[in-house]
Structure formats: C-alpha cells, structure tokens
Structure 1
Amino acid sequence: MLVLHLTELCQIFDFSWTTYQSDSDFKEFCLQVLFDCISKDRPALLQVYLSLYTTIASMADLLVKTDSNVCDSLSISSLKVALAYNEAVTSGRLASSGGFVQSIFLASLGKRCEEILNCSTELKINLRNYLTSEAWPDDNNSELQKDTMLLSWYLKWFSVPSTSIIRAAVEKIKSKFKISTSAVPLLRLLLPSTHISAISEIDRVFFPSNVTIAL
C-alpha cells in the first residue's frame, strides 16, 4: 500500500517512477523513507519526504538543463522552514514529541542545497552585479531565466537583505575603518541573519583588500 502511495506521489510531483528505477540513490532514499514511515505508522510523511527530496533534485537538474521542471523560491522557503523547525525541536527550544522527518535527512538536504548554490561561477557573477547595481539577469531566454532563478534561490536561502541595507552596512564600516582585508567579522555584526557564505561574497565585492585598521 505504501509503495502504491509512493508511486502516486511521484506522479503528483511530475516525476516518472520508471525514470528513477535505475537510480541507486533514489532507490536507497525510497527504502529509508518507507522504513521511517512504516516504523512510525505515518504514511502521510511520504509526501513530506518526496516534496523535500524533489526540491533539491530540481535544483541540481537546473544546473545542467535549461528546460527542467524547477521548483520556485517558495520551495526553498519550505525547506528552510523545515530545517529551522527541526533544529528548534532537536535543541529543545520547541516542545514536540519529535521531528517530523529525520534530522540527518534534513541536514543532508541543507548541505546539498548550499553546495548547489555555491558551485556556479555564473551565479557568482550575477550576484556581484546584483550587489553593485541591483541588476538581475535579463530573462528573455531560457538560459537567462535559469540565471534569474538561481539568483533568487541564493538570495532566499542565504537570507541576503536588500541592496540598500547592504550598502548602508558597507558605508558604515568604511566610515570607521580603513579596509584592506576581510570585513567579514564586521559584516556579520551588521547583517546577523545573513549566512556566512553570502557575507563572504559581500566582503569580496566591497572589500577586495587585505588589512582592516580602525581610523
């Protein structure tokens, strides 16, 4: 019954079950999910697992295809919410009978998401253009639509604030320090919710030197 339910869910997410029959990673994933759902007697978890898994699969697919069925930034937000909820439960900050999916599974998805967003050279170029001039890739063709999607994912996942907030932080640092090295520690103080990966990119764009000296 659970296998039939899994097949139906693959169809819902526009995935062909036969396509993945030769994918050993997907087979292993399915076995783990089935065991988790059976042991907890919670078949509805299948939809949660598949939704999260296919979000990352779609992101990876976009790196090599321009015509793939990709997720939107709302899917990235859903994964971030799932990770935040699970972290709150496991740390004891949120009372719960337990996480709704395996912590290791969620952590691996989060790591994979970061790897995808950090591996594209073109994305780094588009990010620099966005930070310096608020310019988005021209999305008149499918290749550039892909660039726009990747950039929106990056901004959402790494909690990059608006360019006006970033510029204000940069100007505040430059007004008090002579920068010739990494301004990462100062940027982290002024942009506390922004991920360290994005902080490092902001530092490379606005502070491309080597020593920070207080004025």
Structure 2
Amino acid sequence: MDIESIGNSPIGKIVPISGYDRRFDEEFAHFAFVPSPLPADFVLSGATYSVVVDATAAPARADQAASLLPNPDLLARPATRREAVSTSALEGTYAALSDVFEADFLERGQMSASVSEVQNYVSAAEHAYGWLAEGRPITLNMIEQLHQVLIDGTPSDGPEAGHVRTTQVFIGAGRGRVPTARYVPPPPGDLLRDGLLDWEQWIRQPSSTPSLIRIAAAHYQF
C-alpha cells in the first residue's frame, strides 16, 4: 500500500496497526486505511450525469422485460448465475456457467469445490432478493447473514462466519507480508463497526442523488 499517496487522500485517513502474523511467526506494524463517511450528496460533472442516465436505461429495460413475463424469475435466474460466475472469477474461483446451472439439481457433496463456492454466491443473492422483496431494509444483520451463506463450507468458513471480523485482513499476495500488501482495510474494533453502522444509515437515508450513483458509492465504501 502506497502510504504516502493514500495518507494524503481527501476521502479517508491512515491509522497505525500492529499484530502477530502466524504465517511467519512474527509481529508486524503497519498502517490501515479508514474511509471517511460518505457525503449526503455528490457534485458530479454534466458528462458523468449523462453516463449515469444512459446506464440507468439498461436496468429499466430489464425491468420492463421482466414485467412482460409470467414468471420474472425466468429472467433473474440466469442473470444471477452469470453474475455469480463473473464475480467469483474476480476472487480467483472459476466455474463453468453450465456447471453452475446443473448445481441447482445436485447435493452439495456432488459439486466441485469451485462450483460450490459459486453456488454460495447464488444462494446469498437469492437470500438478499427475498429479504428486500419482503420490504425489509438493508441492515448490518442482513450483511452478516449473507456473509455466513457466502462462505459456508469454504476455506474461509469458521467462527467468524456471519459476524463482523475481529482480525486484521489485507489484500495482497497469499504469502506476502502485511507491509507489502496492496491495500489494508480498517482494523477490527470500533473503527470498523462504526464505519459499517454509518454505511447502513447512509443507505437508508432519503436522497435526491440518482440510485445508480448511490449504489456505486455504497459498493465502494463497503
């Protein structure tokens, strides 16, 4: 993580962290980035708003197409699975779309490890759809439930599944040391939980900002 550049960020701050890295049997001392709370509104250029208008038209067309179907799930089901495959690939988990469709008719023990992980994404997404369809707001509790579904049976599964993490994590090479990480998110504790609660409240507050912009900002902040 480029401490000098990120330390001068106008949208966050760095804080010192320390701990014990069991992989190397050594103590570490470094810095983590803590983003500032999201603003109530965004000042964007006319060109950006033009792009947002065009992008907003795409889900509007999908919504219109779904309204013409006797069962909208016929549209949502393949879209969710395509998204699961592409998103999982970003995390290093690869599975063929055809295998993911087939997984709907298999028991967990009949799936490969990669397909099982992608299927977790599908299950988490469908759980979220059901939550919102019931008119329930996005909450930290919802996120914790989705986290538990997402990592069920994976190498990341463990005591912290379904809970806000209590350990420091970082983004970088698997065998790299913390000081060489590309990015170090907020440390566990009050800073992390307060940030998540601020995020939850920001999502739920009324705003005149276009939904697509708010979705992008919420994704970034999370």
TM-score, structure 2 length as denominator?
0.28
Q: Which has the higher helix share?
A: 1
Q: Which has the higher strand share?
A: 2
